[in-house]
Structures are given as C-alpha cells and as structure tokens.
Structure 1
Amino acid sequence: MSHITLIRHGQANSGAQDEASYDKLSSLGHQQSAWLGAHLRERGQHHARLYTGTLKRHIETAAAMNTGMEPTRDARLNELEYLTLARALEREHGIPFPNDNASFATHLPQVFQYWQDDKIDGAPERFADFESRVSAVLAEIAGGDGPALVVTSGGLISMAMRQLLRLDITAMAQMALAIYNTSQHRLFPIGGTLSPTMFNAIPHLEDPDRHYAQTHV
C-alpha cells in the first residue's frame, strides 16, 4: 500500500452560478498551482504517479504544477456538484441560494444534510454513490506502486476525511469549508489502512508576500 497526497485544485471561477462556468482556473489559480509545483520540486518530494479528475480545473492545476508526469484521469475523482445541488434544494425546499461567503458557510452543511438524507430529487448523484466512488478510487490508487499525487476537489477531500476519521455530516461540511486552494493532504498507510498524516498544508503560500493567495473559493 502506497501513500497518497491529495491536492485541491487552484482557485476557480468563484463568481460562477453553475458548474460549467465555475470549472476553469482563475489567473490566481494558475499561479497558486505553479508555486505548488515549484515547491514540490525544490523540496525533492518524490511521487511515482499522478492522478486527476476529468474536470478542467483539475487538468489545468496539474498542468501548471509541471510535475513531469503524465496524469491518469479518472472521473471518480471529480467533485460533487454543489451548485447543481444548491439550485435543486432551492427549487424543492425553498432554501435560498447563498449570495455571500457568510451565507455559503451556513448553506453548505444544509446541502450536505439534505443530500445525505436523499431529500434532493434533482441531485445528479446520490450521496451514497459519491461516498462509494471516493472510497473505491482511493483504495485502487493506494494499492498501486509508489507514492501518488492526486489533484481533485475540496468536497472529495472532505469525503475522504469523513471516511477515515468517521466524521458526521456537519463536521464533513465544516472541513470542506476550511480547505485552501492547492492545499496538500497526506494519507499514509498505517497498519494496513490509510490514515491522515497531513491536512490543509500550504507551505508554498506561507511567505508574507503570498498571503493574499491563501484562498478557499
């Protein structure tokens, strides 16, 4: 079993109102990704394999990191569709779509709870199916040879942490809200199972002149 380093993609189009419009890196997202790649090279961190989801923001992040590895793209590493879920929740239950960061922070746990309880008829996939695909793809990657770098999204990372730490749905949502763009999250095999040994690390953004680049959305 090999260790996995999960990477959240760089900042995307945070002002978007639908999934397609959101799915591209901002100029800052490209810079964050390039800084992360440079940091990994400077520290001599070795990874034998690179995986991404099939979303544009995943592919662009991996390209900007310039790891020198050809990525394996796997749709099971794609993000949950929060914007689609939020619009469906508004239509079906009258819970308004958030219009600022403060309302988003209270809205995300509601979306997750309704989704987990199978109360969003317009959900593009069931919560249980998202949970199963995350578990399956990470198990397959961990079973491969050599350390793996995985470029994915915050919702998937929070689901991985939920599974490994047995988090309830509220804690999973709070964890998702905390995840920085281009942050690193290490899953290390201990006793035959993966355990989190690093969460939300952004050493490439810690210099004072890069603090402005510490973004969550």
Structure 2
Amino acid sequence: MTTLTLIRHGQANNTATTEDGYDRLSDLGRQQARWLGEHMRATGAEFDKVFTGSLIRHQQTAEEWGAEAFTVDERLNEVRYFDLSERMHAQFGIAVPRTHEEFVDHLPLTFSAWQEGKIDGVSETFHDFQTRVSDVIHDLAGAGDNVIAFTSGGFIGMATRVVMGLDIGPFTRAILPIMNSSVHKMRLMPAGLTLTQFNAVPHLENPARHDAQTHF
C-alpha cells in the first residue's frame, strides 16, 4: 500500500526578514536532517523515490538526510509567507511577526484574509495554493510504493487540510506546531489519501536532543 512521507525542512535562518534570506539551513537545521537520516536508516526505512521542492532549504535537508539523488518539483514549495506578511502590514497596519509567539497570532489572521481574497497583489491565491498541494500529493502518492518528499510547514499544513477536510481554524492550528525536520505520513487507501502520522520527531526524542526540537 502506497505511503507518502512528507518531511519539513530543518531549521532555516530564523533571523531573516525576507524570503531569500530565510532560505538556507542553520547549523542546527543541518544537524536535525542528519539525525533524521541516521534514524531512518537505523530503523530500516526505504523509499522508492525522493522528491524535494526547488527551495534551497528543501534540497539542503534532503542532502544532509542522505539522499544521493532526488527529483525537484516546484509544487512542493512553501507559500511566500514573508510576502503575505509585508502586504498585511502595508494594507492593514498589522506588524510583521518577529518571534514565534507573534507568528502564532499572525498566521490565522493572515491565512483568513488570504482565503477571503482580502490581500491585494498576491503571487498565488489561497485557492491556487490548495489546488497545487492537492495535485502534487496525489501525483506523488502514485509515483511508487514508498515516496518521501522534503517540503515546508505551510505545505504540510495544507496537505493535512486537503486529506482531513479541515476548516480554516483547525487548518491554521495544525500548521503552528509543525517542527523542523518532522515526519508526516499519508497512506493511499481505497477511500483516498489518509493521514497516518503527524509531526513525529523520533530522532529528537532523546532528552539530550530536546533543545533541538524547534518550530521557527
């Protein structure tokens, strides 16, 4: 039975204020990815195909994880959240979040406004984002018995919304706890893609690694 495993990238440059500035792994992010790869190999995980988005942090995570080769699919890319934040600030005076605590309040406001079409000049509508996520997860689920894809938290949250039928509130709450280098699994069943694992970090469960459990 086909299993699609989605991996959120390791910790990126969390001091960044732009899309490009954010798009590279921190030293901790690289280590998180290496630990994940070591854990998966030690537990016998094998994958028929490996995919990444086209973002640098996706591909760096795959490389540190141990992928010798992978297929790039831009549909796995993250929503451009920094751009949405700047537009929210320009249009509504809502400050761009600088900390995880501020992000917790900011994300539901931003995604609700985005879904309702209230943010002007966006590069991708909420509907288009949802459609590309739905398309690619179903395509990848048909690409092999065991497929792994390296992507981002917003993408994983949207994939969860798609397969679980989540409304905007539960959807945004699902995004917020997604940890760096976390593991999410979907299985293709007769009724369709079904979520079977969410936000697992078995490689970071050792008490000595608890400080490496990051969200932002």
Give me the TM-score of the superposition, normalised by structure 2: 0.97
> 1:208 is aligned with what amino acid?
P
Instruction: Classify the secondary structure of the residue corresponding to 1:97.
Output: coil
Residue 27 of structure 1 corresponds to 27
Residue 165 of structure 1 corresponds to 164
Q: CA deviation at 1:201?
A: 0.5
Residue 132 of structure 2 corresponds to 133
Residue 182 of structure 2 corresponds to 183
> 1:206 is aligned with what amino acid?
E
Q: CA deviation at 1:99?
A: 3.0
Alignment of 1:1-217 (within 5 A): 2-68=2-68, 70-217=69-216
Between the two proteins, the alignment pairs up a number of residues equal to: 216
Q: CA deviation at 1:67?
A: 3.2
- Aligned-residue sequence identity (percent) comes to 45
Distance 1:100 1:41 in 2: 34
Runs of 4+ in 1 over 6 A off after TM superposition: none
Q: CA deviation at 1:101?
A: 2.3
> 1:21 is aligned with what amino acid?
G
Task: Flag structure 2 segments of 5+ consecutive residues without an equivalent.
Answer: none
Asked if structure 2 preserves the Cα contact closer than 8 Å seen for 1:12 and 1:22, the reply is: yes
Give me the TM-score of the superposition, normalised by structure 1: 0.97
Q: CA deviation at 1:118?
A: 0.8
Q: CA deviation at 1:192?
A: 4.2
Q: CA deviation at 1:100?
A: 2.5
Distance 1:192 1:46 in 2: 25
Q: CA deviation at 1:203?
A: 0.3
Distance 2:203 2:44 in 1: 14
Instruction: Classify the secondary structure of the residue corresponding to 1:178.
Output: coil
Distance 2:116 2:167 in 1: 13
> 2:166 is aligned with what amino acid?
L
Instruction: Classify the secondary structure of the residue corresponding to 2:40.
Output: helix
> 1:36 is aligned with what amino acid?
L
Asked if structure 2 preserves the Cα contact closer than 8 Å seen for 1:10 and 1:29, the reply is: yes
